[in-house]
Structure 1
Amino acid sequence: MAKNPVYILPGTLCNQRMFAAQIVALKNAGYTPHVIPFTQQASIAEMAELTKTIALEPAPFIGFSMGGIVALALLKSNPELIQSLCLISSNHLADKPERPAIRLKQIAQANSTNIEDVLKSDFLPHYFHQPNEQYSQIALTMANELGVNAFSAQLQALATREDTLNIIAQTAKKLLFIGGEHDVLCPTNIQQTMHNACANSDLILLGNCGHFIPLERSNTLNVILLDWLESLS
């Protein structure tokens, strides 16, 4: 008999390809993973609402990067749906004041040229601890599959997000924070801040990786996730 479903909330311009190794590991362990497809939702609230329509029963949630931000919004609006929450390479912060204007320029560039140019210039240099052609190609493939409309919607959502540290501090749910020691987008001090705010939480920092932990440290992440899920049984 299959165990409870596990819902995976992806990051910006990410789809199921990002979690290929985790999906295999979860299925092999008897879980049923579901990757929520964020495509046209232009706010974190809309993404949380979509998640709520797909996740109809309490379950563990895994939020990667932007997906972690969505998971925290869901934790605020519908805590009954979240059995436990694992946040990977995520953060609690509202967008910095200078970021919305930068995001608008990135959207305009993607519309005037192509999404790959924007990814190569503004995103890929911050994704990995060490340059990796295979991982970069996965990122570019996902971006092309999701397209400019999804890119625009997701950047708009990130630009208007709220700080959620109070949600982390107030929840009684078990939280697991996983960060990369070389993540420049969601650095270790942010992971530590979230962990410190949540009395019922664990923090794991992984060496030799940056932001894209599901790719750079896939085997280690698989072990951590399976241990976490088994601890919920």
Structure 2
Amino acid sequence: MTILLVPGYMLDATLWDDVRERLAPFGPLAHADLRHDSTIEDLARRALAEAPPSFILVGFSMGGYVAREMLRQAPGRVRALVLIATSTRPDSDAVRLRKRTVVKASPSVSFAGLSRTAIASSLHPRERDNEALIERVRMMGVRLGGEAFRNQSMVERPGDLHLLGEIRCPTLVIAAGHDGLRSLDEVREMHAAIAGAQFALIEDSGHMIPLEAPETLCDVLVPWLEALTSR
């Protein structure tokens, strides 16, 4: 069974490099391409068009919003759902203002990746001076480029808490204990709204769980996938 991995804002497929080896035994790994569209609906539509007929769906951060929209558009194709460090809440006014500022910037302005400050603020406090990790995240944005930056900055993240009761597939919700972007309350309310969902807290990580705590993430994912695939 293919595992379809959906990255977050200005992150590429290398987000998953440190978990790839332990996930590979469960089936081929595929990656959603979030470079080209500027709405959650269109991002989900493109990902579905490029995906196999059925798959296990894993969404990280913004990718969690895309993953849930994919499930709404094609519920019969999603065998199971994993939501990592994400939320169901809509963008705040401050976030909308920042996005509008990006969109208004000249397309000719060279894009050098997300700022060091923005990246560091998402990490566990002990990692905020980890220059190698910060550079790893920044370079994902550089590879995606300025057009993807503008496209993703136009994406409105609507609140969908009221729709979570429609989710019927096996679901695992994973939170970080030191997430500077998504509060534990946000993740717990999402978990509570999905019938039968399992929950895991990776206490010793910031928002970037696949980079900050890949082994612990796999320690959560692997048993869940083993139970799922043994059914």
Q: Normalization by structure 2: what TM-score?
A: 0.91
Q: Contact (CA 8 Å) 2:202, 2:217: kept in 1 or not?
A: no
User: Residue in 1 aligned with 2:211?
Assistant: 215
Amino acid at match of 1:17: T
User: Which among 153, 159, 180 is matched to residue 151 of structure 2?
Assistant: 153
Structure 1, 167-176 or 72-81: larger mean CA deviation? 167-176
User: Where do 5+ consecutive residues of structure 1 fail to align?
Assistant: none
Q: Does 2:194 correspond to 1:204?
A: no
User: Residue in 2 aligned with 1:102?
Assistant: 98
Q: Which runs of structure 2 are paired with 1:4-43 in the superposition (5 Å)?
A: 4-27=1-24, 29-43=25-39
Structure 1 residues 147 and 223, CA gap change in structure 2 (3 angstroms): same
Structure 1 residues 118 and 32, CA gap change in structure 2 (3 angstroms): closer
User: Residue in 1 aligned with 2:75?
Assistant: 79
State the 1:221 CA deviation: 0.8
Q: Give the whole-Å Cα distance in 1 for the aligned partners of 2:115 and 2:200.
A: 28
User: Residue in 1 aligned with 2:138?
Assistant: 140
Q: Which runs of structure 2 are paired with 1:47-196 in the superposition (5 Å)?
A: 47-108=43-104, 114-116=110-112, 118-121=114-117, 123-129=118-124, 130-131=127-128, 132-157=130-155, 160-196=156-192
State the 1:136 CA deviation: 0.7
Q: Give the whole-Å Cα distance in 2 for the aligned partners of 1:177 and 1:209.
A: 15
Q: Contact (CA 8 Å) 2:114, 2:141: kept in 1 or not?
A: no
Amino acid at match of 2:84: I
Cα deviation, 1:167-219, whole Å, max 9, x if unaligned, reads 22222222111111111211111111011111210111111211000011101
Q: Give the whole-Å Cα distance in 2 for the aligned partners of 1:59 and 1:76.
A: 14
State the 1:46 CA deviation: 0.8
Q: Normalization by structure 1: what TM-score?
A: 0.90
The DSSP-based 3-state class of the residue aligned with 2:19 is: helix
Structure 1 residues 118 and 105, CA gap change in structure 2 (3 angstroms): farther
Amino acid at match of 1:88: I
Amino acid at match of 2:182: C
User: Where do 5+ consecutive residues of structure 2 fail to align?
Assistant: none
Q: Give the whole-Å Cα distance in 1 for the aligned partners of 2:3 and 2:113.
A: 34
State the 1:110 CA deviation: 8.3
Q: Give the whole-Å Cα distance in 2 for the aligned partners of 1:172 and 1:107.
A: 36
Q: Give the whole-Å Cα distance in 2 for the aligned partners of 1:182 and 1:89.
A: 10
Structure 1, 17-26 or 84-93: larger mean CA deviation? 17-26
State the 1:111 CA deviation: 5.1
Structure 1 residues 78 and 137, CA gap change in structure 2 (3 angstroms): same
Q: Give the whole-Å Cα distance in 1 for the aligned partners of 2:14 and 2:193.
A: 32
Q: Contact (CA 8 Å) 1:179, 1:191: kept in 2 or not?
A: yes
State the 1:56 CA deviation: 2.9
What is the identity percentage for the equivalent residue pairs of Structure 1 and Structure 2?
24
State the 1:223 CA deviation: 2.2
